Structure 1
Amino acid sequence: MVDADQTFVIVGGGLAGAKAAETLRAEGFTGRVILICDERDHPYERPALSKGYLLGKEERDTVFVHEPAWYARNDIELHLGQTVDAIDRTARTVRFGEDGTVVRYDKLLLATGAEPRRLDVPGTDLAGVHHLRRLAHAERLKGVLASLGRDNGHLVIAGAGWIGLEIAAAARQYGAEVTVVEPEPTPLHGVLGPELGMIFAELHREHGVRFRFGVRLTEIIGQDGMVLAARTDDGEEHPAHDVLAAIGAAPRVSLAEAAGLELADRSGGGGVLVDESLRSSDPDIYVAGDAAAFPHALFGTRLRVEHWANALNGGPAAARAMLGREVVYDRVPYFFSDQYDLGMEYSGWAPPGSYDQVVIRGDAGKREFIAFWLSEGRVLAGMNVNVWDVTEHVQKLIRSRAEVDTEALADPHVPLETLVP
């Protein structure tokens, strides 16, 4: 039975919000839990949108965090297709829905996520220009890729990050022609640096993807509302029937900003500033998932992490903090990707400029290896490619902050666990 004396409101019906609601009940909270989602679909997980579901290998129902009946069974008041347009911090209320429903909260969790960055070029209003963030986007794109494959059509992708590459892989497996436009010199340059990015370029080239590095998309050319080509700043025109913008995501912070919460500097990734327990500058408001910019003692900086594992773990951490538990959210960032026959997992944080050495363990040519990024002999990040069951050891190495023997680190015959102090 619900005790109406306390009300916890969660804004955002993605993985972070749904797992926070689940955790509140699992931890014994008996008050009202109100979960407000601006999508009409029940909360779902996003990785399949650019992987299994997009490829037709997973059914639509497999993406949902819980079966629909779970919410009522656990006394979660789920509001689908409802947008929160205001937070009154003094009255501790949120206003949402077309009728302007107002509910009071004792604790509030913002799990508002991120949204795709938009191309700022002529032609983005054409019918064949796409983004991928929501289930509806994936459903549409799935049909587009199948059609391109049947008709030998061309897809131009702006951006060679994880989403761009995963969709390139999916498009090629459908049979579409694919050109990827990327201003950096390699794919995934901001994550993997130049040392590892070319491995992914070679993988995609082997599967027929064309890359144009060092150039930007400047115009999408169309006729009668349909895409005909994409123009880049080197003057070239690339045939295209559809264009996908995969140029990153921006945290959804407008609601927090309007409420006067402290924000992180946009130049550093933006987001809502939170402490180690994911509490914002307002002690009754917490933030989890893509929108949270949290301090990470291990890396000595503030991070905003957009990946699945951050939502999976951040939502429950925020829920426990809302309940008054002691929480220090310091998970090692983790994400994974599947492209053709390559599967990888990445743990840590090592943007270009933060490391001074890359150590390869295994055979990079065969794409069966682990890469380590180090600074002064200490492991900052590790990526295992087609090598499995090593994530725990990689993360322990990162957490240890110990100097490692790089020769032993590079030697596949030396068990990783023996390198952890």
Structure 2
Amino acid sequence: MRLNTSGSYGQHFSGALGEVITFNTTLTASQMQRVRSYMASKYGVTLADNSTTGTIDERNYLASNGSTTYWSYTSNSSYHNNVTVIGKDNNTGLNQKKSISTDADNNSLTGNALLIMDHVSAISSDISYLAAGHDGTSVLENETSDVPLTIQSRMKRVWKAQKTGSGIASSITMTFDLTDFTPLNGSNLRLLVSTSSSFAGASVYMGTYTAPNFTVSFPTTGGMYFTLGSVNLAQTPLPIQLLRFTAKPEVDRVKLEWVTATEINNDFFTIERSLDGKTFQIVAEQDGAGNSNSIRKYTGYDLDPVNGVSFYRLKQTDFDGSYTHSSWQKVEFEKSNEFSLEMIPSPTSASNVVVQLTGSPGKIIDLIIADNGGRIVYANTLKIGDSGTLRYAIDFRTAISTGMYFVRATSEDSVKNCKLLIR
């Protein structure tokens, strides 16, 4: 037996081995599933293998007796994400009173809301478990219609729990790590518990908030569906309003992008720029969505950026005139006087000639097309638009012969040449 090496290939595993279990016989599919369930429960790894072995579904959590399924994938397939388990199983030595979910899929658009389950007291009997998983919905989106009367909004993400055996107490402590959530007034938070995935008639429970954690007592004798709600949509919208704001230099402009998860009475956005981080000027404005509880993406541009270092921020203004600012984004920009010239397509027919100019918005270009003998067959003055790209169909007005033509584009500070083949 080898540990930590592949043997013939000379490769080594770089990391820690949490536990090694040896057996003196080949395990059956059922026995292997019990081992996998024990390890997954103990180390917080969701059994997400979509394959099956014989009659054993490898996504089910199976107790050591081989007959008790304490997390059924069939019943909980929509909630088979970041499964968290507390429980007691004497045969395996598992006596886990506290467990924390992992969120390996966390990113800026799905967010993170780590769940910690704590039994606090001893689990009183063997083969007793409480497992919970969520539906995979982003915690950065909210719901305002499917809520109890006293609740103004809730997370769209819903968790579901499954209780097995008689040893789990009538209530346990749940803690939600809400590091990703701003604005947030902890006194507005509530735990919503329902007998179904609908929360209009859910029971509402108060907890305590010590940033960034919301801790609350979860009753294990009632509904098994739960989520977080807010009694004040303005102060604690659940979730955050602005997820991301970025500023990136392009050839002749600065591109600004931002993403919101929810908007409440949002009138408009203002992009502001500063050279010293103190005095800001308006670059552009864009209408907001008013009220929205879904993820929305926005794009804006600074079409006349300043050479050197600039600082950009986003100002969000409500209908009542109140506003908030995002954090700064630093951009180093070097304005280019260059532009590009391209004939599309080439070769082509005389009736299908298009010139493409890419450069600074507003740049004036003098375009000349001449034949092989130097005779000018086309001349025009063109202006690149706000997008930074101009595609212009050439109208020769008079018939021209097939053959090679020479194209020259001239601005006040640059000249570009290319060839055009007419067939």
TM-score calculated relative to the size of structure 2: 0.22
Question: Which one has a larger percent strand, Structure 1 or Structure 2?
Answer: 2
Q: Which one scores higher on RCO, CA 8 angstroms, separation ≥ 6?
A: 1
Q: Which one has a bigger Cα radius of gyration?
A: 2
Give 1 or 2: higher helix fraction. 1
